[in-house]
């Protein structure tokens, strides 16, 4: 039996995720509606992401750098993209949608990690880390191609009847 390559295992994980692939969720549930741009500046992915509750509010700690966020839903949403290594992303303008999208993305991230362990279970930790790195690189490339949207949301002006 021939040994599988990192790319072949990563491809099997991506195929198993299907519609739960994070860039697919991003395209279908985030970019489909009005968004605002957020510069995350995590070009290679944060090794350690932590959500911290402080007296001033909620912060996301990215490898020692702290980012103040308005609420827990936004913190969870940004944490997923920080782990991937996105530089700039779109955030849903409708704050009621952020929590649902963050749930989907966190579930997808955890499922990705479990699938890597399942498909590369008998391999070394170094091999599994390379598979995760390959998947993060693919997600970064797809997210960059999808774009982060406009810096500010556009509002449709309606004419008043007068």
- Give the rounded percent of residues in the chain with a pLDDT score beyond 90: 69
33-78 pLDDT per residue, tens: 889 899 888 777 778 899 999 998 999 998 888 999 999 999 999 9
Cα angle 63-35-99, degrees, rounded to a multiple of 5:
65
Q: Which residues contact 132 (CB under 8 A, 6 or more apart)?
A: 112, 113, 116
Contact 39, 87 (CB under 8 A): yes
| pLDDT band at residue 81 under the 50/70/90 scheme | very high
How far is Cα 91 from Cα 27, in angstroms, rounded to an integer?
12
Domain boundaries along the sequence of the chain: 6-146
pLDDT on residue 122:
87
Q: Which residues contact 49 (CB under 8 A, 6 or more apart)?
A: 60, 61, 62, 79, 82, 83
| pLDDT band at residue 21 under the 50/70/90 scheme | very high
Mean pLDDT (whole number) for 135-159: 81
Residue positions counted in the chain: 162
pLDDT on residue 116:
96
User: What integer best gives the mean pLDDT of the chain?
Assistant: 90
23-32 pLDDT per residue, tens: 999 999 999 8
pLDDT on residue 1:
41
């Amino acid at each position: 039996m021939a040994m599988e390559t990192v790319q072949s295992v990563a491809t099997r994980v991506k195929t198993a995720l299907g519609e739960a692939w994070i860039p697919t969720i991003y395209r279908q549930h985030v970019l489909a509606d009005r968004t605002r741009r957020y510069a995350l500046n995590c070009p290679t992915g944060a090794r350690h992401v932590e959500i911290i509750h402080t007296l001033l509010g909620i912060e996301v700690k990215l490898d020692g750098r702290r980012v103040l966020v308005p609420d827990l839903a936004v913190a969870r949403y940004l944490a997923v993209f920080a782990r991937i290594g996105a530089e700039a992303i779109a955030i849903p303008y409708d704050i009621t949608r952020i929590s649902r999208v963050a749930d989907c993305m966190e579930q997808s991230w955890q499922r990705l990690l479990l699938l890597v362990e399942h498909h590369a279970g008998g391999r070394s930790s170094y091999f599994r880390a390379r598979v995760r790195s390959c998947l993060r690189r693919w997600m970064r490339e797809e997210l960059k191609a999808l774009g982060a949207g406009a810096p500010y949301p556009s509002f449709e002006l309606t004419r008043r009847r007068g």
